[in-house]
């Protein structure tokens, strides 16, 4: 009896996985006019927040604003569903200001799903991908599509893999191990096997998540209240003003009793028992790691974050763990406010496959198979924001290549997205990658407030943004130009008002009192004008420093270079440079995790007079 032929569906771009990377990838490709299929194993988890119920943070908030400036989904979704908004690092300079928002977890997920369902050219399908279809033509390999469970084929000349933590994933809670990439969900091995068959290097990382608690079982009187900002700022450049009621978060702390209990049970922790042998994120360590790595600390801060307006579930940020259930129970009994807290979901760790990203071009297309793109945790990154940014770039480039148009490759001086992708494909990863402002050598120019001015013209040029967004941007730019002209024309204390505004102590509010015509300009316009004027000299000098750094990149480094004694060098950089002992700055620049900012610190140290005398 002859078997029936497999069903075949034809598209321009296929995106596998509908998390933060997949939804941005599919939407970006569809905005460019490609016929897109977004395939996910479960339609009920599109855009789901697997771990913390928040968007943004240090550098991450910059990325969300960049995604938005290029027409992406994340900024508008969090503005619509956020329950608390805060601008971090407000006491520091504007380059360090980073927006962060708590999300109503389910509302955010539903908002993303709705936006995907309403996107033209995009088909959302519940399918479990089990294999990749590739073909070799005259010595070059091309992707042709994917095969799903049941044998049906989705064919396309471009495929974007955004598989998250689901590739051959194993969850660990103490000695217990369960197959799955997220609590309550399964795993997949077919894609990993296909990648190995096609010649890709496949390695493993791990990540973790903390327990979730029942809010009414928490004694908040023993905790510190953390409110949102009085005048919250939106993520999206299209959002006028945030008007929703904000909910507070709460702060408590671990203590010496907690630390002693954890130490007594380290032999039952998968990371220390040998059950898990893979590397986890350095900058989001488990509570077990914190106790071991920071043995001198007597307490660690914990944030109690509500997961939504209409749920009692609370996320305990700062206590990610894979310790056994009974130990997790015992830990909470010792923490102020949590003595009687009920655990709704226990913490766990996840091991999963990823592909080292040095196998990619800066477009996020694989080097060995044309038309195949990777985005998100498959590239060894962590975080919703890093995933979303990669997804947007991969999805856009998949469509742009089919259209025969220039690729979207932001430079390091244009975007944190450029820093992120360049770090991944140039340096690779030896631990889960997380973006920080310290990774960017141009951070005075890469502020969160000017993401639209940096990237929206590029998005318009490539056809990635709506007419509404472009018109709003043009209006803003015209207002900025008018405000600057007014400041040049007016005089304050016998000098141009623009020169007077350069003084550090002078504020925009003072300028409005002196020049009433300035009151017509919005807060966002005023902010841009003030920053442009106040920091112009710094930006010029920073650019010159980077150019100088590049010219001196072959400068030799002594074998006994005292990295540990340089206070401004990051701890990660000290550790890696001490271990590898590079012979030159050029070699140091290629070490995974060493940033251009680290090289600038080394250059400054080498050029100090006392160093020249010593080296002579």
Residue 439's CATH number: 3.50.50.60
Residue 304 has φ and ψ, to the nearest 5°, of -95, 110
124 & 203 share domain: yes
Query: SS3 for 317?
Result: strand
415 & 323 share domain: no
Q: Where are the extended beta strands (E) located within 247-312?
A: 249-253, 301-306
Encode pLDDT of 160-177 as tens digits. 999 999 998 899 999 888
Nearest partner of 305 among 387, 249, 356, judged by Cα: 249
Residue 587: which CATH number?
A: 1.10.150.570
What integer pLDDT is reported at residue 260 of this predicted model? 97
Q: What is the mean pLDDT of residues 553-567?
A: 80
What integer pLDDT is reported at residue 612 of this predicted model? 44
What integer pLDDT is reported at residue 281 of this predicted model? 76
If residue 276 lies in a helix (H) or strand (E), which one and from where to where? none
Number of domains in the chain: 4
Q: Is residue 393 part of a domain?
A: yes
What integer pLDDT is reported at residue 385 of this predicted model? 98
Query: SS3 for 601?
Result: helix
254 contacts 297 by C-beta, under 8 angstroms: no
Residue predicted with more confidence, 271 or 386: 386
Q: Where are the extended beta strands (E) located within 325-484?
A: 343-345, 348-354, 369-370, 372-374
| Separation CA 230–CA 244 (nearest Å) | 12
| Separation CA 256–CA 560 (nearest Å) | 39
Residue 342: which CATH number?
A: 2.40.30.260
The string of DSSP codes covering 379-406 is: GTB-SHHHHHHHHHHHHHHHHHHHHT--
Tokens linked to 20: 């933060």
Which has the minimum average pLDDT: 97-101, 417-421, 571-575? 571-575
219 & 363 share domain: no
38 & 150 share domain: yes
Nearest partner of 441 among 592, 270, 322, 601, judged by Cα: 601
What integer pLDDT is reported at residue 41 of this predicted model? 94
50 & 165 share domain: yes
DSSP bridge pairs for 353:
204
113 & 178 share domain: yes
318 contacts 299 by C-beta, under 8 angstroms: no
Q: Is residue 80 part of a domain?
A: yes
Encode pLDDT of 424-480 as tens digits. 988 889 899 999 998 998 888 899 999 999 999 999 999 999 999 999 999 999 999
What integer pLDDT is reported at residue 613 of this predicted model? 43
User: Predicted confidence band at 546 (pLDDT cuts at 50, 70, 90)?
Assistant: low
202 & 217 share domain: no
Q: Is residue 236 part of a domain?
A: yes
79 & 126 share domain: yes
Largest CA distance in the chain: 96
User: Predicted confidence band at 614 (pLDDT cuts at 50, 70, 90)?
Assistant: very low
Q: Is residue 462 part of a domain?
A: no
Tokens linked to 140: 């070059």
Q: What is the mean pLDDT of residues 313-337?
A: 97
| Separation CA 517–CA 526 (nearest Å) | 12
Q: Is residue 469 part of a domain?
A: no
Range of the domain at 255: 212-348
What integer pLDDT is reported at residue 580 of this predicted model? 66
User: Predicted confidence band at 320 (pLDDT cuts at 50, 70, 90)?
Assistant: very high
Q: What is the mean pLDDT of residues 12-25?
A: 98
588 contacts 599 by C-beta, under 8 angstroms: yes
197 & 223 share domain: no
| Separation CA 69–CA 63 (nearest Å) | 10
107 & 47 share domain: yes
Residue predicted with more confidence, 535 or 284: 535
Give the global pTM: 0.89
Tokens linked to 449: 């407030």
299 & 411 share domain: no
82 contacts 242 by C-beta, under 8 angstroms: yes
User: Predicted confidence band at 616 (pLDDT cuts at 50, 70, 90)?
Assistant: very low
Q: Is residue 545 part of a domain?
A: no
Q: Is residue 2 part of a domain?
A: no
Which has the minimum average pLDDT: 228-232, 242-246, 553-557? 553-557
| Separation CA 388–CA 171 (nearest Å) | 24
What integer pLDDT is reported at residue 186 of this predicted model? 79
What integer pLDDT is reported at residue 279 of this predicted model? 80
User: Predicted confidence band at 69 (pLDDT cuts at 50, 70, 90)?
Assistant: very high
The pLDDT of residue 522 is above 80: yes
The pLDDT of residue 189 is above 90: no
Average pLDDT across the chain, whole number: 92
Q: Which of 323, 348, 373 is the last residue of a domain?
A: 348
Q: Is residue 415 part of a domain?
A: yes
Which has the minimum average pLDDT: 290-304, 389-403, 597-611? 597-611
94 & 204 share domain: yes
Q: What is the mean pLDDT of residues 49-60?
A: 95
Tokens linked to 118: 């309403």
pLDDT above 90 covers a percentage of the chain that reads 76
């Amino acid at each position: 009896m002859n078997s029936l032929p497999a069903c075949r569906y034809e598209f321009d771009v296929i995106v596998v996985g509908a998390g933060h990377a997949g939804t941005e990838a599919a939407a970006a490709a569809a905005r460019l006019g490609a016929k897109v299929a977004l395939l996910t194993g479960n339609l009920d988890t599109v855009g789901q927040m697997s771990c913390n119920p928040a968007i943004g943070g240090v550098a991450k908030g910059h990325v969300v604003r960049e995604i938005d400036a290029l027409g992406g989904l994340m900024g508008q979704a969090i503005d619509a569903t956020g329950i608390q908004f805060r601008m971090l690092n407000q006491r520091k300079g504007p380059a360090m200001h980073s927006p962060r928002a708590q999300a109503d977890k389910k509302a955010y997920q539903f908002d993303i799903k709705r936006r995907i369902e309403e996107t033209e050219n995009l088909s959302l399908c519940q399918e479990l991908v089990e294999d990749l279809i590739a073909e070799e033509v005259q010595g070059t390999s091309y992707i042709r599509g994917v095969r799903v469970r049941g044998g049906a084929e989705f064919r396309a000349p471009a495929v974007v893999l955004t598989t998250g933590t689901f590739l051959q994933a194993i969850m660990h809670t103490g000695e217990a191990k369960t197959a799955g990439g997220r609590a309550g969900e399964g795993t997949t091995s077919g894609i990993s096997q296909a990648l190995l068959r096609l010649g890709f290097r496949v390695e493993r990382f791990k990540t973790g998540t903390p327990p979730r608690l029942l809010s009414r079982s928490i004694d908040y009187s023993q905790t510190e209240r953390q409110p949102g900002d009085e005048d919250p700022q939106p993520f999206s450049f299209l959002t006028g003003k945030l008007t929703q009621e904000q909910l507070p978060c709460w702060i408590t702390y671990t203590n010496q009793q907690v630390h002693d209990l954890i130490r007594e049970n380290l032999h039952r922790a998968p990371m220390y028992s040998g059950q898990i042998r893979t590397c986890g994120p350095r900058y989001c360590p488990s509570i077990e790691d914190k106790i071991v790595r920071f043995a001198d600390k007597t307490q660690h801060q914990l944030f109690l974050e509500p997961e939504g307006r209409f749920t009692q579930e609370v996320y305990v940020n700062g206590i990610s763990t894979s310790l056994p259930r009974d130990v997790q129970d015992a830990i909470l009994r010792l923490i102020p406010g949590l003595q009687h807290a009920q655990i709704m979901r226990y913490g766990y760790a996840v091991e999963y496959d990823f592909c080292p990203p040095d196998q990619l071009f800066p477009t996020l297309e694989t080097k060995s198979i044309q038309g195949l793109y990777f985005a998100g945790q498959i590239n060894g990154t962590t975080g919703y924001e890093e995933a979303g940014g990669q997804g947007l770039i991969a999805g856009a480039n998949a469509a742009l290549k089919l259209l025969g148009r220039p690729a979207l490759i932001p430079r390091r001086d244009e975007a944190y997205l450029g820093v992120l992708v360049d770090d991944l494909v140039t340096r690779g990863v030896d631990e889960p990658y997380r973006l920080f402002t310290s990774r960017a050598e141009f951070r005075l120019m890469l502020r969160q407030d000017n993401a639209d001015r940096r990237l929206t013209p590029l998005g318009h040029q490539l056809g990635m943004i709506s007419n509404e967004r472009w018109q709003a941007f043009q209006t803003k730019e015209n207002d900025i130009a008018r405000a600057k002209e007014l400041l040049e024309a007016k005089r304050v204390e016998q000098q141009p008002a623009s020169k007077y505004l350069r003084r550090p102590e002078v504020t925009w509010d003072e300028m409005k009192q002196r020049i009433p015509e300035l009151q017509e300009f919005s807060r966002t316009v005023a902010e841009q004008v003030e920053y442009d004027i106040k920091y112009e000299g710094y930006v010029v000098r920073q650019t010159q420093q980077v150019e100088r750094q590049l010219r001196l990149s072959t400068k030799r480094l002594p074998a006994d270079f005292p990295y540990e004694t340089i206070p401004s060098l990051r701890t990660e950089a000290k550790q890696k440079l001490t271990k590898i002992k590079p012979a030159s700055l050029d070699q140091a620049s290629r070490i995974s995790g060493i940033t251009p900012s680290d090289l600038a610190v080394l250059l400054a140290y080498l050029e100090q007079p006392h160093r020249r005398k010593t080296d002579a």
